[in-house]
Homo-oligomer: A and B are copies of this chain.
Amino acid sequence: MPRMRDAVNRSLAEKLASRKAGICLYGFAPPKQATPPEQLERIVAQQLARFGSLAVDGLIVYDIQDEAERVAAPRPFPFLPTLNPDVYAHDHLGSLAVPKIVYRCVNRDTPDRFIGWLNSGTEPRISVLVGAPSRRSQVGLPLTDAYALAQQHSSNILLGGIAIAERHARTLDEHKRILAKTEMGCRFFVTQAVYDVTSTKSLLSDYALAVAETSGMPLPIILTFSPCGSVKTLSFMKWLGVAVPRWLENELQFARDPLAKSLELSERIFLEIRDYAHDKGIPLGVNVESVSIRREEIEASVELLQSLRRRIERSE
């Protein structure tokens, strides 16, 4: 159904390209490669139903890397390869009339393979390119090479990039990476799960100042929120590199209902950063994800998305 897909993705691509504030996305990883066919069918049917009724501007389909090279600590959940996010988004969920942003880890690409992917469709696509999880694990295509190839070979992909506030807290140069990725074709940015208001505000502050210096316009920054219902999920998020302030970790750990607490805290974090971004003229969006496969955490992520969307609509 290339025609329908075309029209569907265009709506989100236009919102992103026109720097619209308040974009709402829902992020998830494809099922594991090892999922038996009947189970996969059930998951697809469930997701078609869940996402079909979701009031979102688009879905984000992640491309999951192992990332074990990034940190010495053992991964709290085992890494199991997932289905190709492109295939999952456009084939398995192809009948879903919701725009999709597909992540692609170029670390696993060769130049030829990446060019093949760039040329593999004619309809407008939206994609976020992801580099190697650490400098040590750099084996495939470097991210900058991928951006350069995308600019040479394709005009039908709207590209986004990743923005990591935690990196900014350490090096104070993440806004420069955002500007460099903008030069290389990115039109929007998605953060990691936000639990640390301070580093996120600091990144937005430096970004807004840097954009003002060049007389440019800030691009949409999509803040990711990730409900956390257990100590294990929390430790997984921390393993993934998400900064969780000590007080907030305590709140989650000692809450009677950690999941409800994490929704409450996520909403507060969103409101504080939204006000700040609004003052700075940065179009802010949200992406709610669930890093866990526990049913209640998935349901909580849908609930959070809906309440953030209501907050956004009320302020429009």
Q: Which residues of A does B touch, CB under 8 Å? A: 168-169, 172, 196-198, 201-202, 204-206, 209, 245-247, 250-251, 254, 276
Contact = CB atoms under 8 A, between A and B. Distances in A.
Contacts of A202: 245-247, 250
B250 A209 contact: yes
A206 B249 CA distance: 10
Number of copies of this protein chain within its complex: 2
Contacts of A172: 246
Contacts of A276: 247
5 contacts: A168-B246, A196-B198, A198-B245, A198-B247, A202-B247
Nearest to A172: B246
A206 B254 contact: no
A251 B205 CA distance: 8
From A204, A245, A246, A276, name the one whose CB has the most chain B CB atoms within 10 angstroms.
Answer: A246
A245 B209 contact: no
A37 B168 CA distance: 51
Contacts of A246: 168-169, 172, 202, 205-206
A247 B209 CA distance: 10
Given A204-B247, A205-B250, 18 more contacts: A168-B246, A172-B246, A196-B198, A198-B245, A198-B247, A201-B245, A201-B247, A202-B245, A202-B246, A202-B247, A202-B250, A205-B246, A205-B251, A206-B246, A206-B247, A206-B250, A209-B254, A247-B276
Contacts of A204: 247
A191 to B, nearest CB: 15
Contact of A247 (B205, B250, B254): B205
A276 B206 CA distance: 28
10 cross-chain pairs, A with B, having the tightest CB-CB distances, nearest first? A202-B246, A205-B247, A201-B247, A202-B247, A205-B250, A198-B245, A198-B198, A202-B245, A209-B250, A172-B246
A205 to B, nearest CB: 4
Nearest to A201: B247
Nearest to A209: B250
A171 to B, nearest CB: 11
A193 to B, nearest CB: 16
Contacts of A209: 250, 254
